[in-house]
Amino acid sequence: MEKNNRDAAFLQVGNKLLDWYKKNARDLPFRQTKDPYKIWICEIVFQQTRINQGLNHYNNFIKRFPDVQTLAAAEEDEVLLYWKGLGYYSRAINIHKAARQIMNEYQGTFPSEYDEILKLKGVGKYTAAAVSSICFGGRMPAVDGNFYRVLSRVFADDFDISNSRAFVYFSELANLVMPENVGDFNQAMMDLGSEICKPKNPLCGVCPLNKDCLAFSLNKISEFPVKTKKVKTENLDLTYYFVHRNGQFLIQQRKDDFIWKKLFEFLPAISAELEPFIKSSKTISHKLTHKNVNIEIYDVEVDSETVWNDFTAQNEYLITDLEGFHHKSFPKPLENYVQNSLKD
DNA sequence: AACCCGGGGAA
DNA sequence: TTCCCAGGGTT
């Protein structure tokens, strides 16, 4: 009997959240559909990415690749082009692999079971739960950073969210408050976490859960969530040679085992015959989340047609111009360098 | 279980 | 500056 009262109190929290969501849901393009393809794409785009940052990328991506057939038929490089500037480029590579996976293993029909969705490349427990609940009535909580923050505050729970067991732990807390409509519940949690229960300066005065929030009643909101793991940054030094002549320049494609997977870059080294054509150099500093990148770029303008033809014939570097450049995906600092450099 | 992978906005 | 965002993959 005591357990039933407790369950009822928890369920009330979930229903309050749903009531708030009905009136305050954000008007987002992917809220108008239950097409699993579009929901899947939006879940991937907005991983570790704020809505305002990814919205144009999402809309452009859906316009170019409106369905899984179109995406699967495209080249990987074009998918990367539409991901340009978004970061975490393995998402683009995996999204393309998963599209072909759906064509080959599921006959082009998006899988509807959580366990099957989970098998898609780049789809983890969060994304599988989100797509499953929003599109197919699945009943798994889509536990993300918003769940960690909201639930740790509501329960004044100091479980360390940087602990690798946090996902399981907060999934169990989520199950306590989860109502019937799991799809809306998951999206409501995201909107509450984004608009009300923000990391800093949360709007507890207008929060639909403030009567149920233990951290708020204890005036300890700022103590939750607990996160012990610190972000450490390292230095990364890169050298590039921007070898060009008459508006053309040489590039190559990066591997998929380090940063900027499969994006294009300038030459990391040159042979002795090109050294006389080095005109200048400049250093660019670029901050990543876990790295401070210092890039030394040498401007190599090859004045000799003979040397240019000789060099390009002997090497397998790609030749491009400004037009071709706009159709390839470059790391942000190199993108900026080209746009400032070739204006002359 | 620990570590790696981008870029941008808020405070 | 620091934090963190609709996380997932690799080792």
Three-state secondary structure of A261-307? CCCEECECCCCHHHHHHEEEEEEEEEECCCEEEEEEEEEEECCCHHH
Residue A265 backbone dihedrals phi, psi, to 5 degrees: -150, 170
For chain A, give the percent of residues with pLDDT over 90: 93
Q: Are residues A168 and A262 in the same domain?
A: no
Residue A318 has pLDDT above 50, yes or no: yes
**Domain with A60 in it:** 2-223
Q: Domain of A291: which CATH number? A: 3.90.79.10
Has residue A228 been placed in a domain? no
The pLDDT tens digits of the residues spanning A322-337 come to 999 999 999 999 999 9
What distance in Å separates the CA atoms of residue A50 and residue A166, rounded to the nearest whole number?
A: 22
Asked whether the beta carbons of A225 and A161 are under 8 A apart, the reply is yes
Q: Which residue is nearest to nucleotide B4 (CA to C1')?
A: A258
Q: What is the mean pLDDT of residues A2-16?
A: 79
The mean per-residue pLDDT over the stretch A89-116 comes to 98
Please check the confidence at residue A152 and state whether its pLDDT lies above 50.
yes
Q: Are residues A309 and A192 in the same domain?
A: no
- Does residue A8 surpass a pLDDT of 80? no
Between CA A341 and C1' C10 the distance (Å) reads: 37
Specify whether A123 is located in the same domain as A217. yes
**A164 CA, B2 C1': Å apart:** 9
Look at residue A249 and tell me whether its pLDDT is greater than 80: yes
Any idea what the CATH number is for the domain that residue A123 is in?
1.10.340.30
State whether A58 and A157 are in the same domain. Answer: yes
pLDDT of residue A6: 65
Q: Is A43 among the catalytic positions?
A: yes
At A17, list the tokens. 């959240």
Predicted local distance difference test score (pLDDT) of residue A158: 96
Confidence label for A232 from pLDDT (cuts 50, 70 and 90): confident
Split into its structural domains, chain A has a count of 2
A239-CA/B3-C1' distance, Å: 25
Closest C1' nucleotide to A258's CA: B5
Report the nearest residue to nucleotide C3, CA vs C1'. A199
